[in-house]
């Protein structure tokens, strides 16, 4: 019969050392206390960012009775989707969404192409007045956009661009779109990190300057491309002051350009025009309908981020290319 091996009891000193490693950690493993602190901070920060969205979502699904009931603060007594139906009708949602997508997408596409080319030129070529042009580029980044509102308005009116999507596309094609100077600097830094040996090898193989750009520089700068696409699209989507100026404060919903945020700004006026607002009206505007309109205005960006967050994280991971 095999003898069972008796387990050696730990000495008090070994037990204290084991407890210390468990709580404070060691070189191989983090301690329990550090994990508690880290996860507490992460959960707290996540709650701060998610609280407004969760509150809007919860309120937008409440019937009017829940708005008056202090007990129903977070969980609605029933899912009331008519708030979203009324908000979509007030904002002419699908029509405004398509126009908003056009205003954000086409200038973003132009900015990515143009800013990448300009940044590559600054990073890889030496030409007269290069330093002076870089200084002017940085100064244009520091110049507030509010200072150029009226000159741009007069220029677009004289060129017949006011109230059309070309008021957004033409400046982007000329490298003067929203935050174009910042995007040029981003591409400039990324293109500087491309190893010189790759470009020299391409030139030895007989590749032209544009060939080296499209075959080598562009694939290696995909992290910058993803970053610029995301930031440019969001800025065009969220901009209201400059957009209203470029559109000439167009009020025609069916024929004029508009965005979801502009429709959200005039939400109350549009709602009163669609529904009667006498005191006992069942369609009287309330906070739940306003929250539904706000959720609808940010929903495309939330869905876009959820779909592209993997590529955005990968772009950050791949941004550590070193030049030679």
Q: What is the pLDDT of residues 12-53, one digit of tens each?
A: 766 776 666 666 666 667 767 777 888 889 899 988 888 888
How far is 87 from 271, CA to CA, in rounded Å?
8
Contacts 24+ apart (CB under 8 A), 120-127: 120/187, 120/191, 120/213, 120/217, 122/184, 122/188, 122/191, 123/187, 123/188, 123/189, 123/191, 123/192, 123/194, 124/191, 124/199, 124/217
How far is 254 from 56, CA to CA, in rounded Å?
29
Label residue 280 by pLDDT band (50, 70, 90): low
Q: Which of 267, 264, 260 is nearest to 237 (CA)?
A: 260
Cα Dmax for the chain: 103
| Model pLDDT for residues 249-272, shown as the tens digit of each residue | 644 454 578 888 888 888 888 888
Q: Which fold has domain 92-265?
A: MetI-like fold (1.10.3720)
Locate tokens 């110049």: which residue?
143
Q: Domain ranges for the chain, please list them.
A: 28-80, 92-265
Label residue 113 by pLDDT band (50, 70, 90): very high
Predicted local confidence at residue 107, as pLDDT: 92
Contact criterion met (CB below 8 Å) for 118 and 125: no
Contact criterion met (CB below 8 Å) for 288 and 60: yes
Q: Which of 246, 236, 252 is nearest to 157 (CA)?
A: 246
Contact criterion met (CB below 8 Å) for 256 and 247: yes
| Model pLDDT for residues 146-195, shown as the tens digit of each residue | 788 888 888 888 888 888 888 899 888 988 888 888 899 888 888 887 77
Locate tokens 């150029």: which residue?
148
How far is 302 from 222, CA to CA, in rounded Å?
22
Contact criterion met (CB below 8 Å) for 80 and 292: no
> What number of CA atoms fall less than 13 Å from residue 3's CA on the CB side?
3
Predicted local confidence at residue 127, as pLDDT: 80
> What number of CA atoms fall less than 13 Å from residue 246's CA on the CB side?
25
φ, ψ for residue 284, nearest 5 deg: -65, 135
Contact criterion met (CB below 8 Å) for 107 and 236: yes
Q: Is 25 helix (H, G, I), strand (E, B) or coil?
A: strand
Beta strands in 178-232 (DSSP E): none
């Amino acid at each position: 019969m095999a003898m069972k091996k008796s387990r050696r009891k730990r000495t008090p000193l070994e037990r204290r050392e084991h407890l210390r490693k468990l709580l404070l950690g060691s070189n191989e493993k983090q301690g329990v206390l550090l994990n508690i602190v880290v996860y507490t901070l992460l959960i707290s920060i996540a709650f701060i960012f998610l609280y407004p969205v969760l509150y809007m979502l919860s309120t937008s699904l409440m019937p009017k009775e829940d708005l008056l009931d202090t007990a129903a603060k977070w969980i609605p007594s029933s899912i009331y989707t008519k708030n979203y139906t009324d908000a979509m009708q007030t904002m002419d949602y699908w029509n405004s969404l398509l126009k908003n997508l056009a205003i954000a997408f086409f200038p973003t596409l132009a900015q990515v192409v143009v800013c990448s080319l300009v940044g590559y030129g600054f990073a890889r070529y030496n030409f007269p007045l290069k330093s002076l042009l870089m200084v002017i580029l940085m100064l244009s980044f520091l110049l507030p956009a509010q200072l150029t509102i009226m000159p741009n308005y007069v220029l677009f009116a004289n060129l017949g661009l006011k109230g059309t999507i070309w008021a957004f596309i033409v400046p982007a094609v000329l490298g003067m779109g929203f935050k174009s100077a910042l995007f040029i600097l981003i591409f400039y830094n990324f293109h500087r990190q491309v190893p010189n040996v790759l470009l020299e090898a391409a030139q030895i193989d007989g590749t032209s300057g544009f060939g080296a750009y499209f075959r080598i520089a562009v694939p290696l700068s995909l992290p910058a491309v993803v970053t610029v696409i995301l930031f440019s699209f969001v800025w065009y989507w969220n901009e209201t002051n400059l957009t209203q100026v470029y559109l000439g404060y167009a009020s025609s919903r069916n024929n004029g350009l508009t965005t979801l945020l502009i429709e959200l700004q005039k939400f109350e006026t549009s709602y009163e025009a669609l529904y009667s607002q006498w005191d006992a009206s069942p369609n009287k505007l309330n906070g739940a309908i306003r929250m539904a309109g706000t959720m609808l205005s940010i929903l495309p960006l939330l869905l876009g981020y959820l779909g592209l967050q993997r590529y955005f994280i990968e772009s950050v991971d791949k941004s550590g290319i070193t030049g030679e």
